[in-house]
Structure 1
């Protein structure tokens, strides 16, 4: 392991190598094994590298047993014996920034508060660590972030060293190691000593910056989401754009956007409350008109784009106003028809289920309710007026 290019020189962007063998997995993926490589395989929480071998895309890299397999998008020419490997350096350096940033942030939690990290995930958006604690304060997060960025600003070296198990006692390791052979330490002098097989830049300054984005509870742990390096700029870029859009929509300076939006939301809630009251009043007027329009014990109407909830509320208002009536309401909503049938306490002695049972098959629909009140809906197989007529004819 110690002779691998990605361990000898983490900053290597391209390299020559000899093809040892070619193979095909059971799932059809072609791979190439080289005599050495700068492509890092997935492992230790760090994703694999991508890039090219003689111009052919490397889409995955995995360590299988004692060999590193480079999975390629298409076959290399049969006469190729030597390859020039080129890393997707933007991806690789991003991963190195995030992984080194994780070391720095984790060490800051330990140094300031003794909070241990129990897992690490390097995602495409944010990076996460899980802390072995149940709660954390905003003040603690601020302090940890400040210390982490101080270590970055000091541009301390990030060193790697291969040691034996007997030599481990010379180092103040952050956590106990699970390996006993080919032990690799990643060291930030006088700050962090940790066993790690990942790839990191050569100094903390190359991490550029760390920003904690948010935290969440995971059972009895705290998950910390953060970004480092170029991802900080990416986050700042889109958040700045969104804030600018909000400021323009609210016609206010960016630094006053939160207050302005808060006031707008207060106004909106007031308007929504007033609108709901107005709708209730309109339904009351409509109920009075429908109750007064009862003919032979039945009243009804057809509406466009009205919800089933509004139909139900209107029906209840009508039979409360006129206990001697049966109210039939239909709403046309795009490709759907919905209906409500309800009877007052002194109305005709029949079950409203008879109405729904008769019309639901015509609509390929579903419904439910009681003898006094049913609702349902289905396909727009007829007009709303035609449905209302069929319901009326059943009574």
Structure 2
């Protein structure tokens, strides 16, 4: 493994090699070379992409002892010596994020003895899962600061192939799980870790590390962060969002948070006022309908919640009343039936008669039922059937 180009020199972006074979697997064509700088998916790091003799390589995987370069193109005529080129922007991004993960993980261990149990390098964010149920903002800030100190000191990032017997000479962050081809990635006097990924030659090339968020994952804490160019991308995205919010609130960006809080408070009060006004209108409507023993009406575009509230108001105004309400909402019919306290007839009788007519579903109790279904009949026909069931 140590002879592979991406291990000999992780900065190789173009190379020549000889085609060993070509093939197809489950509809995917692939090329195998005698050596390669393309990194295959593994160890939490995604695969490289690029081009072989102008053919686009979209995936790279290690299958048994082969590194297969997958492509959608025809590879039957690919043979002999080829020239290859990596998508260097993608590769260097992965190197920055992976090395940043080593540094942040080591910072959590050094400062708080919090171990990382898993690592994921996504297309936008990177995550580590810490073996703890709680982490404070102060701890996150301290770990981020320590990580950036190591980055700015531009310490060397060394790689070394060792035997299992040699491991006792290194203060490893975690146990190595392989017995052969053991490769250590070392940031002297800070982090010693077994790793098969690609890394820059110094911590300074990571650029910068920023923790963005945390979330609880079962009995662990997941930390979301970015490094290098991704910090600028995230900053640009957040700047655009903040500027847009500030414009809509007619406030300077530095005052956007206060303006948003005031807006949210005002919106909640407006929502409450609107609800109170709607309830007042429903009470007025219910009072007019409550003069009827059977208050039966059809409506257009009225929610089931409004129907339920109106039915309750009607039966509260008149304990002798029964409310039968039907609404047409887009392509469906919905209904509510409610009784005043003076009645003993179960409203489930009405529901049982109405639901089959609209191929619907419903629920409720003896005092109030509701349901909805297909618009197979008119609202007036459904309301008449509900009346007839009484």
TM-score of the superposed pair, with normalisation by structure 1: 0.93
Q: 1:176 to 1:367 in 2, by over 3 A?
A: closer
Q: Which residue of 2 aligns with 1:325?
A: 321
Task: Give the aligned partner of residue 149 of structure 2.
Answer: 150
Q: Distance in 2 between matches of 1:240 and 1:124?
A: 20
Superimposed CA distance per residue, residues 194-244 of structure 1 (whole angstroms, 9 cap, x where no aligned partner): 221100111111111100111222232222111111111111111111111
Give the Cα separation in 2 of the matches to 1:174 and 1:357.
68
How far the C-alpha of 1:97 sits from its partner, in A, is 0.5
CA displacement 1:133-188 (0-9 Å, x = unmatched): 22221111111111111111122221112223333333322222222322211122
2:332 to 319, 333, 336: 336
Aligned pairs for 1:304-323 (under 5 A) are 304-323=300-319
Are the equivalent residues in 1 in contact too, given 2:30–2:75 (CA < 8 A)? Answer: no
Aligned to 2:113: 114
Instruction: Work out the CA distance in 2 between the residues paired with 1:361 and 1:166.
Output: 77
- How large is the Cα RMSD of the aligned pairs? 1.9
In structure 2, how many angstroms separate the alpha carbons of the residues matched to 1:186 and 1:52?
A: 28
Deviates more, 1:191-200 or 1:371-380: 371-380
Q: Which residue of 2 is the match for residue 98 of structure 1? A: 97
Aligned to 2:369: 374
Q: How many residues align?
A: 390
Partner of 2:46: 47
Deviation at 1:77, TM superposition (A): 4.2
Judged with a 3 Å threshold, the aligned counterparts in structure 2 of structure 1 residues 265 and 171 are, in CA distance, closer, same or farther, namely same
Match of 1:299 among 286, 295, 299: 295
Structure 2 residue runs without a partner (length 5+): none
Superposed CA deviations along residues 20-51 of structure 1, whole A, max 9, x for unmatched, are 112222x2322221100000011111111111
Q: Tell me the CA shift for residue 350 of structure 1.
A: 4.8
Structure 2 residue aligned with 1:356, among 347, 351, 355? 351
Partners of 1:42 and 1:144 lie apart in 2 by 28
Unpaired runs of 5+ residues, structure 1, are none
The change in CA–CA distance for 1:346 and 1:79 in structure 2 (over 3 A counts) is closer
How many angstroms does 1:245 deviate by? 0.7
Partners of 1:343 and 1:113 lie apart in 2 by: 64
TM-score normalised to structure 2 length: 0.94
1:265–1:354 CA distance, 2 compared to 1 (3 A): same
Change (3 A) 1:361 1:112: same
Matched residues in 2 for 1:86 and 1:263: separation?
54
State the distance in 1 between where 2:338 and 2:163 align: 84
- The alignment partner of 1:387 has SS state of helix
- Name the CA distance, whole Å, in 2 between partners of 1:373 and 1:124: 52
Question: Which residue number corresponds to residue 229 of structure 1?
Answer: 228
Q: Deviations over 1:286-342 (max 9, x none)?
A: 1110012x1xx3222222222112211211221222222222111121111111122
Which contiguous aligned blocks of 4+ residues in structure 1 show a shift greater than 6 angstroms?
none
Q: Counterpart of 2:58 in 1: which secondary structure?
A: strand
Distance 1:80 1:310, change over 3 A: same
Instruction: Give the Å deviation of 1:393.
Output: 4.2
Aligned to 2:334, what secondary structure does the other structure show? strand
Partner of 1:2: 2
Task: Return the alpha-carbon distance in structure 1 between the equivalents of residues 163 and 389 of structure 2.
Answer: 90
The DSSP-based 3-state class of the residue aligned with 1:80 is coil
Map 1:83-232 onto structure 2 (within 5 A): 83-232=82-231
Q: 1:221 to 1:354 in 2, by over 3 A?
A: closer
